[in-house]
């Protein structure tokens, strides 16, 4: 049984068809990349999978259960967590408090505040932010906020983690560190779907890649197959990356 199955998803906004007949699967333990030009439907797909949007038609099956159109909190408690393209921490909370908020949702919520704080510190250490536990989120750098949002998502104890442009705005060294962190999360047993525009990162991390263009899947395969796909080269990669 696949961990995640997406079947015939459609989503339109007025007369604009954002997602058209989208279908793919994600197996446990994979890193699946989701790529495409700007406006191709990547973030819309993330929003559909996490309950921020309801599909017009189609099905989302997670661990054998139909979660299509379910409330965000229910999907989170089922075991799907996400980060956002534009990070959304609680700016006037400390880093520790942000992660503690994540422990209040998801699976197996913390039994009390002391336990939540201890687990939050463990997650902050895991993402390299332990020394910033008492810092307010609004005082963190972009990279630190991205790591904080990742820690908050991990605090929900997901089986499936959706990463939406985790590396956007990072310098090359920071992006390399982020790639190592993503691999370590997968190695800990969490399956990942990642949206990313940094081609080196998506090719280096993904076991499989799904390519969207104008809301439709135009290709799917391993990184080697994707970089040699003529249609993908034409609409997204360009000859420089092929």
Is the per-residue pLDDT at 238 higher than 80?
no
Is the per-residue pLDDT at 56 higher than 90?
yes
Identify the pLDDT of residue 164: 93
Is the per-residue pLDDT at 241 higher than 70?
no
pLDDT digits (tens, 9 = 90+) for 72-131: 999 999 999 999 988 989 999 999 999 999 988 777 777 788 888 999 999 999 999 999
80 bridge partner residues: 160
Between 172-187 and 142-154, two packed helices, what is the crossing angle to 10 degrees?
A: 10
Is the per-residue pLDDT at 240 higher than 70?
no
- The confidence band for 32, taking pLDDT boundaries of 50, 70 and 90, is very high
| CB neighbour burial string for 42-75, b if at least 16 within 10 angstroms, e if fewer | bbbbbbbbbbebebeebebbbbeeebbebeeeeb
Identify the pLDDT of residue 204: 93
Percent of the chain residues topping a pLDDT of 70 = 98
Mean pLDDT, the chain, rounded, equals: 92
Is the per-residue pLDDT at 184 higher than 80?
yes
- The confidence band for 17, taking pLDDT boundaries of 50, 70 and 90, is very high
Q: What is the pTM of this model?
A: 0.92
Identify the pLDDT of residue 115: 87
Q: What is the mean pLDDT of residues 22-47?
A: 96
Which domains can be identified in the chain, with CATH numbers? 4-79+158-241 (3.40.50.300)
pLDDT digits (tens, 9 = 90+) for 206-231: 999 999 999 999 999 999 999 999 99
| 9 close to 48: Cβ distance less than 8 angstroms | yes
The more confident residue out of 173 and 108 is 173
* CA of residue 194 relative to chain centroid, distance: 5
C-alpha dihedral sign at 161, 166, 128, 148: negative
Least confident segment among 105-114, 157-166, 191-200: 105-114
- The confidence band for 15, taking pLDDT boundaries of 50, 70 and 90, is confident
């Amino acid at each position: 049984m696949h961990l995640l199955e997406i079947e015939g998803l459609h989503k339109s906004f007025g007369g604009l068809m954002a997602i058209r007949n989208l279908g793919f699967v994600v197996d446990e333990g994979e890193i699946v990349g989701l790529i495409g030009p700007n406006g191709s439907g990547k973030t819309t797909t993330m929003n559909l999978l996490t309950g921020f949007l309801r599909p017009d038609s189609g099905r989302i099956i997670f661990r054998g259960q139909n979660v299509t159109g379910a409330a965000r909190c229910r999907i989170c408690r089922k075991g799907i967590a996400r980060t956002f393209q534009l990070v959304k921490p609680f700016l006037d909370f400390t880093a520790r408090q942000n992660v503690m908020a994540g422990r209040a949702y998801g699976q197996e919520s913390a039994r009390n505040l002391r336990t939540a704080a201890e687990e939050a510190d463990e997650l902050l250490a895991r993402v390299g932010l332990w020394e910033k536990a008492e810092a307010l989120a609004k005082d963190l750098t972009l990279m630190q906020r991205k790591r904080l949002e990742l820690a908050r998502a991990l605090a929900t104890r997901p089986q499936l983690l959706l990463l939406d442009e985790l590396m956007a705005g990072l310098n090359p060294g920071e992006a390399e560190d982020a790639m190592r962190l993503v691999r370590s999360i997968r190695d800990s047993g969490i399956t990942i779907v990642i949206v990313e525009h940094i081609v080196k990162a998506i090719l280096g991390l993904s076991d499989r890649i799904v390519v969207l263009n104008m809301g439709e899947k135009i290709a799917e395969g391993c990184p080697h197959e994707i970089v040699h796909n003529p249609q993908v080269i034409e609409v997204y990669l360009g000859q420089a990356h092929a």
